[in-house]
Amino acid sequence: MSASFTIRKLLFVGDGVENSWLNFEAGLNIVYGGSNAGKSFTLRALDFMLGSDRLRLPKQGAFYHTAFLWINLPDGSPVTLQRAVKGGSFKLY
């Protein structure tokens, strides 16, 4: 059994906007793109969904209100974390 968890998907939802998500595969994942493509925001969003206090959304993300993070626990069990982008507590599914 591995002593680590695996990140599977990061999703943002909002009213009147398309969902925005990023899927992750097992192993090494590389996030790349041009300037202002969202690379740094992706890192901050993962940090936020793993427990940091707040998340500053870029202008394009102003209409998103909820974030979800799908992970597999070290024993392989899948769980989903839900959190308001304004911060606060998590819901665990």
- CA–CA separation, 22 and 46 (whole Å): 11
8 A C-beta contact, residue 83 and residue 92? no
Residues of the chain with pLDDT under 50: none
Predicted pLDDT of residue 26: 84
Burial of 31 (0-12, 13-18, 19+ CB in 10 A): middle
- Kindly report the pTM of this predicted structure: 0.90
| pLDDT score for 2 | 57
The pLDDT score that the predictor gives to residue 59 is: 87
pLDDT for the residue 83: 98
